[in-house]
Amino acid sequence: MPLFMDRHDVPGVTAEQVAQAHLADLDMGAKFGVQFLAYWFDADQGEAFCLAKAPTGDSLTAVHKATHGLIPNEIINVSEDNVLRLLGRMSETGGETRAVNPFRTILFTDLQASTSILQVVGQAAFMVLLTEHDLIIRRALVASRGREVKHTGDGIMASFDEVASALQCSMTIQAGFEARAAEGQTPELRVRIGIAAGEPVDHNDDLFGSTVTLASRICDAADAGRILTSDLVRDLGIERGFAFDDGRELVLKGFSGSIRVFELAARAH
């Protein structure tokens, strides 16, 4: 399905109003076959942007018209690869050229009981829930300058230049799902998160290697609603003011011996 980005001129509108409008679009999108992925709001310029998959640009306009009446001033067809590369380069912009640091922090998310939810609510409703799930995570990625590497079907793999950014992003993700639950939205969506750091192999806009595998295995071992990290992430996180538990030893598939993992608690200050 084609990918579109639209622009709305909304002078005087607040971030909260834009967020509410986007949630209304999210609820209405399935009726028109539109899958909203993310949105941005530039308060200084009075502009809002939506990124969505839709049958046509007119479908996108129809959703906005049916929900809040904020008709896009412009709609363009975009390449998904180019959009994700742009998000990945946000932290690399600037006037000075600098060497690329191969060190990366890798974050995996996984939606708990996704198969069971699909069986209960059905395909159409599940796709709406998955879109909402993706939106919560992608908002956090954009705010933390993380790069989405791939969508795993019921989760997302992301890469960060800084450990602190990944840790903050993981907390923002969990806060987003907690806020959704507090609003009484059902079914409840809960995710587990695993984080590891190192020097993965970067090839064709994908990442490979033991660091990626470790982050994935740690994610698998986490409880829903929790964030588990490797020992290196924990050590670097403490230096940036994050707090962790005392850790525990786990045997993870593909790794010899036991691996010590730590649960992220909060910012220490």
Question: Which string of DSSP letters, residue by residue, matches 248-263?
Answer: EEE--TTSSS-EEEEE
Statement: residue 92 has pLDDT above 70 = no
Mean per-residue pLDDT for 224-229?
Answer: 96
Same domain, 34 and 112: no
CATH of the domain at 260: 3.30.70.1230
Q: Are residues 74 and 177 in the same domain?
A: no
Token digits for 71?
A: 């008709």
On whether residue 116 sits in a domain, the answer given is yes
pLDDT for 248 equals: 94
Q: Are strands 74-78 and 201-203 parallel, antiparallel or unpaired?
A: unpaired
9 pLDDT higher than 80: yes
Three-state secondary structure call for residue 100: coil
Token pair listed for 198:
């190192």
Least confident of 149-153, 167-171, 204-208, 216-220: 204-208
State mean pLDDT over 12-38: 81
- Helical H segments across the chain, by residue range: 15-29, 57-67, 80-89, 114-121, 123-143, 163-182, 210-221, 231-239
* Cβ–Cβ under 8 Å, residues 247 and 262: yes
Name the percent of the chain lying above pLDDT 70.
Answer: 86
Read off the CATH number of the domain in which 67 is found.
3.30.70.3090
Instruction: Name the pLDDT band for 269 (thresholds 50, 70, 90).
Output: very low
Domain identity same for 183 and 59: no
Mean pLDDT of 24-44: 81
Q: State the chain's maximal CA–CA distance in angstroms.
A: 59
Percent of the chain surpassing pLDDT 90: 45
- Please check whether residue 92 lies inside any domain of the structure: no
Across the range 248-260, mean pLDDT stands at 88
**Helices and strands (DSSP H and E) totals, the chain:** 8, 14
One domain, residues 261 and 165: yes
Q: Who has greater pLDDT, 241 or 27?
A: 241
Give the Cα separation of 34 and 28 in Å (integer): 8
What is the H or E stretch that residue 74 is in? strand 74-78
* Amino acid symbol at 141: L
Q: What average pLDDT does the chain have? A: 84
Number of domains in the chain: 2
The arithmetic mean of pLDDT across residues 213-237, rounded, is 94
Cα separation, 137 vs 120, in Å, equals: 23
pLDDT, average across residues 262-269:
75
Q: Tell me the CA distances in angstroms from 161 to 51, 88, 262, one per residue in order.
A: 24, 10, 20
Confidence of residue 95 (pLDDT cuts 50, 70, 90): very low
Answer whether residue 84 shows pLDDT above 80: no
Whole-angstrom distance, CA of residue 233 vs CA of residue 240: 11
Instruction: Please compute the mean of the pLDDT values over residues 62-84 and round it to a whole number.
Output: 79
User: Looking at residue 31, what is its pLDDT?
Assistant: 87
Tokens standing for 269?
């200050």
More confident residue, 191 or 103: 191
Task: Look at residues 195, 241, 203 and name the one whose alpha carbon lies nearest to residue 222.
Answer: 195
pLDDT category at 220 given cuts 50, 70, 90 is very high
Q: Where among 32, 47, 78 does a domain terminate?
A: 78
**Element housing 224 (H / E):** none
CA dihedral angle for residue 245, residue 105, residue 267, residue 40, rounded to 10 degrees: -140
Domain limits for position 168: 100-267
Alpha-carbon dihedral angle through residues 38, 42, 48, 50, given to the nearest 10 degrees? -20
Does residue 151 share a domain with residue 59? no
Is residue 89 in a domain? no
Query: Do 175 and 250 share a structural domain?
Result: yes
Q: Which of 170, 120, 128, 103 is nearest to 34 (CA)?
A: 128
